[in-house]
Every structure is written in C-alpha cells, then in structure tokens.
Structure 1
C-alpha cells in the first residue's frame, strides 16, 4: 500500500514539474522581457469596430487577428480634469503614466515610458498617420523646456506633407537613415493624400529598427479610424479597420515567431458605432452613416496584447496604468527596469 502511495506521489510530482503555462487557451512563457516592442495607438477604436473586419469576410468563423491576441484588457478613459478626454490626451496619459494632462507644454515635461527603455539601449521611433497639428507629438519639439525628453529620445515619422523645403523626407522603398531627434515626412504625401500605406511604412520602419538595433520600440499613432467616424464615412471606416487588422496581424505573426517580441494595441477616445441588424439597415449604414454614434467618447477603450510580457496587459485598469504595465516585472526578477521601482 505504501509502495502504491509513493508511486502516486512520484507521478503527481512529475506532472507538476511538466506543467505547461497557458493564457487564453494558448501556451505562453510568463515574465519574459521583450527586446522588440510594437505599440499601436488607435484613436477612437472600440471593439465594435472589429466587427467591420470580421463580418465582411467570406467565412465568418475565421478569426481576425484581434481575436487571436493572447490577452485583452479594458482601460478607463479619464484624467484629473475630464471624464472621457479626447484621444490625444488619453495617449499622453498612457505614455507618461499620469492623469495630470493639461493640454499645455507642461505635459511634455513628464518622463515618457520609452525614456526608460532608451536608457537600456532601445532605439525608439514613432510613426503618425491621420494626426492633425494639435494631436501630433511634434508639439514636444515646439515646447522649449530642459525637462522635455521627447525630442532627445526618439525619431518622429509623419505621414503628411510639409511646406518646409529643408525638412527631411522618407519613402518606404528607399533606404532610411535617421538619428534621434529627427522629424521625417512621408515623400509620398501630396495635397492631403499619402500614396504609401500605413502598413508599408510601419513594416519598413520596423525592419529598419530591427536591422540597426538589438532592442527597439516602434510606436504607431493612427488617428484615421477616429477621423472616418467623425465624417460618418462608413466605407472609409471599414477600410481603415481592415488596414489596422492587417497591420496587427503582421506584428502578431512576428510575436508568434519570436520569444522576445511584444505587440500591444491600445485605444483612447473611443467612438461608438451601432451595427445594423439586418436588411435595408445595412444599406443606410453603408451609404449614409446611419446608426453611427459619436456625440460623446466612450468611457472605456480596448487593449490587445501578444508576445513577451503580454500578460501584464490583461484586466481592467486606468489608461495611465499602461505606462507601468510596459515596465513592470516581478520583484524576484532583477532587471534594469526594476530601478524605477515598478
């Protein structure tokens, strides 16, 4: 009898040692530290928008890349001064880890999340699409302060034209040379139209970062979904959601093929839509933008994550907490980022 008990104990011990860690019904290695990070900031996006990608497919049962994420979270959109602030303020709160966002130059005196990554050797770039002058990180370059670290810590790539003839320009099919502090403008953009896609630009900039640095962070700031909803342009909205899905799918595949890549998608300033149920409602929705609801921003926005450290982004939390979820690690794991006591 005692012999049988010993055998059973040994079996349970071996089973516990061979335990496979999972999350979202998928195997996952917890507490991994990414060397390559892609952070997609999608202004105005809500989960309802993902349906425009899913239900326009020939096979509805086929999962979109959004559904394949390891982790999903929800974030509250508010700061010290506003409930449901605009997407620009929301993304600044996420980047700086503070609810004290005023819309003034003082915002850029906060230390951005990527400064901590830069201190351990990360190369940092941001790509902007559909961003107006008030929303752009370029404002950090215009605000003179010795405490403003953004112009010193990253390069900024803008999908827009400029009247400045001496401005540096880029094209995704050409060699991309850049240094920290530079602002580059898309050569394909003319009269408000960019002939290069967000997908092509993001992929090539990402490849460039990967080629030139062991550690890299690419922030993709896309306001095109928000712009389409404001115009009640349902066809344009569907195109932009499909483009976002394609872009997320590319980086999702990168994360799945690597053990040190993290991809995160966050929304802010969500603009709700009400999908039609049947028949002629869809015609009115497609042609006239009926059922589009956007009078007020949503109080909550989605977070999707996959890859190394994705487990940090599960749950329900304030959007300013995104900051520390990029940086946090268990106390028993001593890494350089522990120096900021997160």
Structure 2
C-alpha cells in the first residue's frame, strides 16, 4: 500500500532493504487460522501448542530458552485492546516469566492507579511494571507511536546486558478491517518510519537484530484503475476481503538475519533469534 502512495515511485522503503525476507506458516495445533494474539503467542513462546486460553502462559517464553545470560525484556503495545493485550492476561495462572520479566508500555488510556509514561518526561523502565501513555484520552492518543518508541527505547537501551525490545501493533489491521484506507495507510507509513529509525540507528551495532514478523494476514484484491481506484482511496470501496492468509511475511536485518530466510512455521520465529552456526568438519578421505 505504501508503494502506491510514494511521490517517487522508485523510492525503496526500509522494509525492502531488509537483509532477509522469509515466510511463516500461520497455524497451530488447534486452528488453521489462529487469531492475532494466538499467532503472536506462538511466535513468542516458540510453540504451536496454543489454545487461546490461560494454559498458554504455562509455557516458557523464548527469552527463557536462550543459552545466553538473562535478557532485559521490553514490550511496547499500540492499537491493542485490553482483551488482546498481554497485560490483560495477567490474571492467568501460569509461569511468572511473562508478567515479572518484561516492562510494558501501552498506548491506551490509563486505568485507575496505574503508572504512566509521557515522551516529554522521564520514562520508567522498572522490570515487571506496566506504564500507560498519558497522552491517550478516550480512543485518541496525541503522541505518535514513533515519538513514544524513540523515548522509551533511549531509556530502555541503557539497561545492562542483553536486551529484547518487542513492539506489538494491531492498529493497521483494525483500520483495514474497517476499510478505513486513509487510516490504514497512515499507520503503515508510521510503522515504516519506526522500522527505518531502528534500521538507521542500528547500522553501527553489529550485534543487533531487527526483526519484523506479522500474523493473521488479510488478503484482499486492489481495484485496477480509474474511478474504482479513486473510490477505494476515498471510502475503501472495490476491495475484496478474503479469509486470513495461511502465510505471512517476515523481514530481518542485522545480526543472525540469515536465520529468517526461507519458509518455516511461525512458532520457529522466536527460537530462530538464538540460532547459532555450527562448525562441521568434513573428512574428504572418508568415502
């Protein structure tokens, strides 16, 4: 969708600059087309045993499966309802890893008594805490996702040791489902800016992986030209939605990005972050 709105048709987006492009099969043991939360849990848990219930949180997340020392984990959510949020699942009985390990920042109106963050103030990064965006009033957040993420990341990155920073977005899908093409394009443009910012800022860090995964892909047909295209731009008409797709794109750049080339199941995405090449010896005289 970005391609059709560029002033320069030859401009390359940061997604297209990714070192490796992969495809992930979006299914698990119980659903051929799992919902977006289940798909993301499958990626984060490294498991296809996802039932969309509290049982899912009895499994260990991928940051607990690394051979490295413990990770500092940050999860930034935008466009995600309380029900779809990981924060909304805190009442589930299970492992404490998902609740006590990460720091959460969510772009939603704060709940009574909750901690908050604002891009013009010092951002809290305490492990296990949840911070709500002070700029969100009702259904509107006045701070942009890019501004918020920059502020949060600049504080989070000061933590010592290994770090995993996860950004979850559902606002692009929400706009598509409403056929609000202007909002969808605006959000996709914002996501591209976020990816570009990380892409440019991580060039000097040879130990950093930038990974963009997706889930619950929606396949639809664009109109061909002329009046139909104009009406599509204006009101979302003349597009045909189909069932969610069975395979979704993955973009990777930086350290270990080669692990994400090819086609694989979505529950392999998390574990592939920690794949390391193994040296093999070949005895050319042993036939």
Under a length normalisation based on structure 1, what TM-score does the superposition of the two structures give? 0.78
Alignment CA distance shift 1:62-1:195 (3 Å): same
- Distance in 2 (CA, whole Å) between partners of 1:278 and 1:84 is 31
Q: Which 5+ residue runs of structure 1 have no aligned equivalent?
A: 1-51, 334-342
Residues 173-220 of structure 1 show CA distances to partners (whole Å, capped at 9, x for unaligned) of: 211123111111000000111111111111221111112334321100
- Distance in 1 (CA, whole Å) between partners of 2:97 and 2:233 is 44
User: What secondary structure does 1:303 align onto?
Assistant: strand
| More helix, by proportion | 1
Alignment CA distance shift 1:291-1:325 (3 Å): farther
The structure, 1 or 2, with the larger RCO (C-alpha pairs under 8 Å, 6+ apart) is 1
- Taking the TM superposition and a 5 Å limit, the aligned residue runs for 1:32-43 are none
Count of matched residue pairs: 280
- Distance in 1 (CA, whole Å) between partners of 2:183 and 2:96 is 36
1:118 offset after TM fit, Å?
10
Under a length normalisation based on structure 2, what TM-score does the superposition of the two structures give? 0.93
- Is contact 2:223-2:229 (8 Å) kept? yes
Corresponding residue number in structure 2 for 1:64? 13
- Is contact 1:79-1:100 (8 Å) kept? yes
Alignment CA distance shift 1:148-1:214 (3 Å): closer
Aligned Cα root-mean-square deviation (Å): 1.7
Matched, 1:273 2:250: no
- Taking the TM superposition and a 5 Å limit, the aligned residue runs for 1:245-284 are 245-284=192-231
Residues 65-112 of structure 1 show CA distances to partners (whole Å, capped at 9, x for unaligned) of: 111110000001101111111111100000011111111111011111
Match of 1:228 among 154, 170, 175: 175
Corresponding residue number in structure 2 for 1:78? 27
Residues 38-59 of structure 1 show CA distances to partners (whole Å, capped at 9, x for unaligned) of: xxxxxxxxxxxxxx21221111
Q: Relative to structure 2, which stretch is displaced further, 322-331 or 104-113? A: 322-331
Q: Which 5+ residue runs of structure 2 have no aligned equivalent?
A: 281-287
- Taking the TM superposition and a 5 Å limit, the aligned residue runs for 1:150-229 are 150-164=98-112, 166-229=113-176
Q: Relative to structure 2, which stretch is displaced further, 238-247 or 248-257? A: 248-257
Bigger Rg over Cα? 1
Residues 292-341 of structure 1 show CA distances to partners (whole Å, capped at 9, x for unaligned) of: 333421111100000011110111010001021111112349xxxxxxxx
